[in-house]
Structure 1
Amino acid sequence: MSTTQIEGVLAQMQAVAGAAGGSEGAAPIADAGDESAFAGVLKNSLERINALQNLSGEQKRAFQAGEAGVELHEVMIAGQKASIAFEMGVQVRNRLVNAYKDVMNMQV
């Protein structure tokens, strides 16, 4: 998997996470020359996934406690957003592990 493919996957992940989180747009990707760009993008994506998981958990607890203003459909939507974001994060991790293994198996 090339660097441009990885950056493309991360850009898609940011767009989906931004849409799932309700933000107007995802944070722009830093220049390819920036060594910390990949790490920063990956960290931001994981933080968004964590935020969606936390929001989903909070809404579930609020609904179970019977708090006013918390509707079942909102709880279910938040749960699905968190689930989809988590699954996408797992898929990105799997792709990165496979790319790492491919690089390690290359003969120099």
Structure 2
Amino acid sequence: MSHSVTSILSQIRTFQTQMGQPAVSPLTEMPRSNAIQGLVSPQEIQGPSFTETLRGAIAGVNDAQQKSGALAKSFELGEPGADLAKVMVASQQSQIAFRATVEVRNRLVQAYQDVMNMPL
């Protein structure tokens, strides 16, 4: 299970770097003295929020799908430079990105259900 979580996290970091956002690791961002004592205030952390990261990842998936559709359309119209290999690679990239997004959504829903089903 931890391997799949690590894989998802690495994919999210890859999407962040592709979008130009710095990959953020909470352990390396906090100063060690404050991290050990638990005294880090939210103002000291300067990374993107979860919402921004999720929006960026979804925008990246949308861009990949738009690019894939445009390449497929140009190939179907017989435009020069529209190589079948490029179309297939773009299609596979968009499918993988979409599957990863669906998997993240499924895990978020499962985590929400787990929290809601916790006894008080």
Shorter-chain TM band: 0.7 to 0.9
Q: For the structure 1 residues 24 and 101, does the alpha-carbon distance in structure 2 shift closer, same or farther, using more than 3 Å as the test? A: closer
Asked whether 1:77 is paired with 2:79, we answer no
Q: For the structure 1 residues 45 and 87, does the alpha-carbon distance in structure 2 shift closer, same or farther, using more than 3 Å as the test? A: same
Distance 2:105 2:20 in 1: 23
Q: Tell me the alpha carbon deviations over residues 14-61 of structure 1, each in whole angstroms, 9 at most, x when there is no partner.
A: 244368xxx496533386946x71111111000000000000000000
Q: For the structure 1 residues 13 and 98, does the alpha-carbon distance in structure 2 shift closer, same or farther, using more than 3 Å as the test? A: same
Distance 1:28 1:15 in 2: 5
CA contact (8 A) 2:19 2:60 kept: no
Q: Which runs of 5+ in 2 are unaligned?
A: 30-41
Q: Please give the secondary structure, in 2, of the residue aligned with 1:100.
A: helix
Equivalent residues in 2 for 1:15-26 (5 A)? 15-17=13-15, 23=18
Counterpart of 1:28 (choices 16, 20, 23) is 23
Asked whether 1:67 is paired with 2:79, we answer yes
Q: Which runs of 5+ in 1 are unaligned?
A: 1-5
CA contact (8 A) 1:14 1:27 kept: no
Deviation at 1:10, TM superposition (A): 5.9
CA contact (8 A) 1:60 1:75 kept: yes
Which protein has the larger Cα radius of gyration, Structure 1 or Structure 2?
2
Counting matched residue pairs gives 100
Question: TM-score, normalization: structure 1?
Answer: 0.76
CA contact (8 A) 1:15 1:26 kept: no
Q: For the structure 1 residues 44 and 10, does the alpha-carbon distance in structure 2 shift closer, same or farther, using more than 3 Å as the test? A: farther
Q: Please give the secondary structure, in 1, of the residue aligned with 2:24.
A: coil
Partner of 1:42: 54
What is the identity percentage for the equivalent residue pairs of Structure 1 and Structure 2? Answer: 34
| Higher RCO (CA-CA < 8 Å; seq separation 6+) | 1
